Amino acid sequence: MKDFSEIKEQVKAKIDEVTDGSSLSDFWQSFLGKAGVIQGLMKEMKNVPPEEKPLFGKAVNDVREWAQELYREKQEEIKQIELKHRYEKEAVDVTLPAFSGSTGNLHPITLIKQQMIDVFAGMGFEIFEGPEIEDDDHNFTRLNVLKDHPSRDMQDTFWLTEDLLLRTHTSPGQIRTMDTHKPPIKVLVPGKVFRSDSDATHSPMFSQMEGLVVDKGITLCDLQGMLDKFVGEIFGSGTKTRLRPSYFPFTEPSVEVDVSCFECGGKGCSLCKGTGWIEVLGGGVVNKKVLENCGIDSEIYSGLAFGIGIERITMLKYGISNMGVLFRNEMDFLEQFKA
């Protein structure tokens, strides 16, 4: 039986010479093509005795398949080499800068406002934005800041008419919410407010965020519990609150809320002026007169309210000591708040 070893030698020698697509194609022509050596073997079939024909046929087939397998292996090998070359050729300097434009970013006050909203949104607060031009009724009277009361002086008001004014706080949002919503109420009122003073720590326009919860059984403990969660989220877990007595006409009891200094952990540093505490907001239990002014039964419902100065938190968070810089809109300042 012929073992075609000679042909195999030839195939082997030839395939080893193959280095690229065209020599591979030559290989096919020489051995596996219609005019190729292996195809030529079939022509010898007629010279093979009939009883040997099946064996001969199988042997030729074996050689063909063997050669085809070599061909496929080589083909894959060459493909890999070619890809490798292509990739090498196409390689670029990936460190070349690509984006020739620039991106802006949100104002730091917006960034902090949004962080604060996110915290309270998670607690189930809706967000309401009231008008910036208010009337005496919403800004003062129904918040129990009565006409003859000196607490009106606590906030220097920009008046537009005898009755209309630039809101001095976001607290009118409490009234507007309670006028249109029945308890349970959890609302956050962020927005701009205006007071007629201007110096290093005051701007005639600034931002506040009012919070109001009205439901059954709301207490001073709930105010502190909720604010503990808030300051934990904003200033880092472990930040604690401290309540101390204060006065706002629309809450009773009223408290100032201090947070333990997140810079020194309460040991005392320049940020907290050595006290370990930083004043951040005011709040209290909603004065029943305010609930009643909005038609809410104070025998059934009670509430808590708080007001946070957004600039204050922004300055504390970002280490800004001069409020004026927030409103100067210098790019050197603005571009530092990409986050």
Q: How far is the CB of 214 from other proteins (least distance, A)?
A: 9
Length, in residues, of the chain: 339
Around Cβ 5, how many Cβ atoms within 10 Å? 9
> Which range touches other proteins (CB under 8 A), out of 11-19, 43-51, 82-90, 147-155?
147-155
Are 283 and 171 in contact by the 8 Å Cβ rule? The answer is: no
Instruction: Give whichever of 43 and 216 is closer to other proteins, judged by the CB atom.
Output: 216
Contact residue for other proteins among 85, 149, 267, 273 (CB under 8 A): 149
> Which range touches other proteins (CB under 8 A), out of 30-38, 39-47, 70-78, 208-216?
208-216
**Which residues within the stretch 101-120 sit at the binding site for other proteins (CB under 8 A)?**
101-107, 109-110, 114, 117, 120
**Which residues within the stretch 43-102 sit at the binding site for other proteins (CB under 8 A)?**
101-102
Instruction: Give whichever of 218 and 316 is closer to other proteins, judged by the CB atom.
Output: 218
Residue 135 binds other proteins, judged by CB under 8 A: yes
Copy the structure tokens of residue 317.
Answer: 């968070």
Q: How far is the CB of 124 from other proteins (least distance, A)?
A: 4
For residues 191 and 130, give the distance between their C-alpha atoms in angstroms, rounded to a whole number.
8
Handedness of CA 234, 276, 151, 228 (dihedral sign): positive
Are 218 and 302 in contact by the 8 Å Cβ rule? The answer is: yes
Residue 201 binds other proteins, judged by CB under 8 A: no
Size of the site for other proteins (CB under 8 A): 89
**Which residues within the stretch 224-263 sit at the binding site for other proteins (CB under 8 A)?**
224-226, 228-229, 241-247, 249, 252-255
Q: Angle CA(284)–CA(286)–CA(292) in degrees, nearest 5?
A: 165
Are 171 and 212 in contact by the 8 Å Cβ rule? The answer is: no
Contact residue for other proteins among 49, 50, 217, 295 (CB under 8 A): 217
Residue 215 binds other proteins, judged by CB under 8 A: yes
Q: How far is the CB of 235 from other proteins (least distance, A)?
A: 16
126-127 and 185-194 as β-strands: parallel, antiparallel, unpaired?
parallel
Copy the structure tokens of residue 111.
Answer: 């960034």
**Which residues within the stretch 157-186 sit at the binding site for other proteins (CB under 8 A)?**
157-161, 164, 166, 184, 186
DSSP string, 261-297: -TTTTTS--TTTTTSSEEEEEEEEEEPHHHHHHTT--
Q: How far is the CB of 44 from other proteins (least distance, A)?
A: 60
Contact residue for other proteins among 37, 48, 220, 325 (CB under 8 A): 220
Residue 325 binds other proteins, judged by CB under 8 A: no
Q: Is 83 exposed, middle or buried (0-12, 13-18, 19+ CB in 10 A)?
A: exposed
Contact residue for other proteins among 11, 287, 294, 315 (CB under 8 A): 287
Q: How far is the CB of 245 from other proteins (least distance, A)?
A: 3
Q: How far is the CB of 229 from other proteins (least distance, A)?
A: 7
For residue 90, give every residue at least 6 positions away whose Cβ sits within 8 Å of its Cβ, in sequence order, or none: none
For residues 174 and 185, give the distance between their C-alpha atoms in angstroms, rounded to a whole number.
10
Contact residue for other proteins among 31, 56, 125, 306 (CB under 8 A): 125
